[in-house]
Structure 1
Amino acid sequence: MNLATSTNIICERPGGKVFPIEQTLQIASEAGFRLFDMNFYDWALPFSPFLTDQWEIWINRIAEKAAQLGVKFGQCHAYTFNFLDRSMTKEEWHRNQELVERSLYCCSILGSRLCVTHPETDRAVQNLYSVSKKENIEYYNRLLEVSEKYNMELAIENMCDLSIAPRRKYCAFPEELVDLIDSFHNEEIGICWDFEHADIMKIDQRQALLYIGKRLKATHVSDSLSSTDTDLMHILPMFGTINWAEIMQTLQQIHYNGDFCFEAHNFANRLPDTLLPTAMKLSYEIGQYLLNLPREASSVLVQTSGSTKTTAISFLA
């Protein structure tokens, strides 16, 4: 696995300011991060140059800064919108779709070969599951034609619908997501597992990861202290309630070798700028600690005797 962080780890600042990505790359790389996730979920807000006619200049400037720092972009997050929203005009739909495809192109400029995106839900029908599945397949088959031009794979993220209960979101549960991905019969599309979404949905994460297996292409790593208060979500691992030791061991067990990518923007967004270098060092050290957890657990097992030693050797194989 490769430790990475979303560019939103430093984005919104106190007083409504927005931190330039170039400075985020600088501070986070000085803390140790070498791999980044360009997040167009955040960089599609009204302040963003991505939405202007200067977007190519902007993305190339970011690519130049990354090259200067010697850092790279791994998995990234595409621009997303509810492509199944029937209240959209044709013009609105095509404008949003233009931004989706622009974000894929931008990620390719940065050197990424994997973009995370969201499934959507058709709420205008009674048979929500079957219709949403059919329409997501149609949409993503078309988007795969675009992503293939950039040598880009796609990963569809698990959703969370507790906050809108009793209404549903398609693909809030592993069974729906696996069923959707298997319907493509295409190895260029897989799953992004958001651990915090799963925790909020009270999903057994170990069993979910074992079920997903080789379909896993990307991760969103954050913790939470609340299932309903968004200010207490998207914090660093080990500041919340998730069992990270079990997760790390399971990721190793399924031979996941993609990015272990922080999406923890609520960790630093209230800190003053002077504390950001310290905050980034802590986040990097937490990431390194988590990546080493399976190795440490296996080392403890190997030091014991009898059948436990055999189990440890089998686990490492």
Structure 2
Amino acid sequence: MSKFYSKILLFGEYSIIKGSQGLAFPLKKFYGELKFPHVNTSKPEHNLSDFCQYISGRGILANLLDTDLFRSELEQGLYFDSNIPIGHGVGSSGALCASIFARYSKEFKRKKTYTQSELKYLQDLMALMESYYHGTSSGLDCLISLIDKPVFIRSRNDVESIEDLPKHKMGHFYLYETHIIRKTAPLVHTFLKDYDQSQQVREGVQRFSQLTNELILSLLQAKKTIFDELFSQISRFQYLNFETMICDNIKAFWLQGLESKEFFVKLCGAGGGGYYLVYSPNKALSYPNLTKIDL
């Protein structure tokens, strides 16, 4: 069966909720795939029966997916084998939903290009599926895993797949492992509460959104000097304004980057644990807890 990769929201965390653009990539370092257990081996504990029941009770999903086959294969021991870290902001449930949709869909086939209307349709279906795990979902994590392409998010309802990005002209990207599992919902709740209650926060988010949009544009246009400067500005802005989302065990490293300008750190998704994104404009890094990633 096919592999479905994790994802990384490169830019747009939090600001995308309030209308900024976003840029997300499949992260090929981690993946999951549906499997049947081998003889004389015990399968991991992945209970998909309740998920199958959930899909069966959602009219549009039940019509589009072959739930009878899904149920039959579960009885044969089907499970989701994954090395995607849970609670790290790289889309573990998104890859699971994408793998199930692709296997049991009566009409979907992966292809090289998608129209915007096709992407919006798939995103809505993915959102409905992943809501089983998160209560609510944008569907973006699942969509990226499903189509296995970078996605440019102009707005929450306007996404476009990207074929060629000049990322090879940029510097080096890394994930910083905090070894802390976190949950997204409480962090987003705090952000929205602060946004609603403070004019200063709203003005800061507006500035952050502007920086995010400019940063994405500089990457799309391969303007490295501008990209490097904007990345450093976002790193500084988050260090000063997103304290709740920054783990204690990365603060000194984050500040070291800002002061030395050797590298810059930013949130990777909601923050609060899991992975953080590190960017080095020029030289390769060799610090503890860092893993180089290829976008």
Query: When the two structures are superposed, what TM-score results if normalisation uses the length of structure 2?
Result: 0.29
Higher strand fraction: Structure 1 or Structure 2? 2
| TM-score normalized with structure 1 length | 0.27
